[in-house]
Amino acid sequence: MNNKKNTDFATYGTFRAAGGDILKKELEKNGIPVKMFYPGKNISRDFYGGAQFTAYQLMIRVCDFELAEKVREKFNIEAIRIGEKMPLPKTYKWAEMRIKIIKGDIVKVKAEAIVNAANKTLLGGGGVDGAIHRAAGEKLFQQCKRLGGCKTGEAKITKGYNLDVKYIIHTVGPVWQGGGYKENEELANCYINSLRLASENKIKSIAFPSISTGAYGFPVERAAVIALEEVKRFLKRDKMMKEVIFVLFSEKDLQIYQNLI
């Protein structure tokens, strides 16, 4: 998140009034102005159980969100939305809060790392793989040559070179063969191993393509479920990662992923 002027305020939502009260008091102890308001009952729905819930919103300076996060973690306060000027979303789950789904070009995404849907040679190819290699330049190719390839489901990390990212994580997705050849497990491993490398390298923001759903033929509906399940599982235990972005090629894929959040 970009820090803006002290006068730029944004919404920090909490699931319960008690959480909002705690945040307000702790921030005010540090000289931070906070406005808390109650927008009304039953403003959203928790899609897991269909139950309506009440939410409370705080308006705080964008530059104070880092301290607000420390208070939230200290008191285990469930947050609805962090730092965006928009209505409250459908879920207050903290893992889902750090997932962003967009349609776009992954080589142009602002993140600390992007994930390349590579082939086993790691030397470039078509689709996302080719686009990343072309944008990153010859030095990426030379580093990948030294890595000795990559097995399906595994992941390796390189520098970002000419891309506006610090790292590229390369993972090899499975070719769809009807579902009877451990494709689900191998695809899950792509996300598991990519996120493991991100954690080991203290990466705080990462962008994924929809792995294996292009030329490799993996059904996007099934791939989206696996991708989101593994990312959510990781985020529920990881406190360092601030944002996981899914960058999708088509409007259809975008809707499939968004409908699962």
DSSP helix, strand, coil percent of the chain (3-state; round to 5): 35, 20, 40
If DSSP codes are grouped into helix, strand and coil, which group holds residue 77?
coil
CB-CB neighbours of 46 under 10 Å: 14
Residues 212-224 have pLDDT tens digits of 999 999 999 999 9
Q: Give the pLDDT score at 80.
A: 55
**pTM for the structure as a whole:** 0.67
If DSSP codes are grouped into helix, strand and coil, which group holds residue 159?
strand
Residues 191-206 have pLDDT tens digits of 999 999 999 999 999 9
**C-beta of residue 155 within 8 angstroms of C-beta of residue 188:** no
Q: Give the pLDDT score at 76.
A: 76
Q: Give the pLDDT score at 45.
A: 34
pLDDT in tens, the chain (261 residues): 344 444 466 666 665 667 778 888 888 888 887 777 655 443 333 322 333 445 566 777 777 777 887 887 788 776 654 444 434 333 335 566 788 999 999 999 999 999 999 999 999 998 899 999 999 999 999 999 999 999 999 999 999 999 999 999 999 999 999 999 999 999 999 999 999 999 999 999 999 999 999 999 999 999 999 999 999 889 888 878 989 999 999 999 999 998 887
How many helices (H) and strands (E) the chain has is answered by: 8, 12
Backbone CA torsion sign across 175, 244, 121, 165: positive
| Bridge partners, 159 (sequence order) | 167
What is the total residue count of the chain? 261
Q: Give the pLDDT score at 78.
A: 67
**CA dist., res. 240 & res. 204, Å (int):** 6
**C-beta of residue 217 within 8 angstroms of C-beta of residue 198:** no
Q: Give the pLDDT score at 115.
A: 98
What tokens appear for 162 in the block?
A: 């000419």
Q: Give the pLDDT score at 55.
A: 55
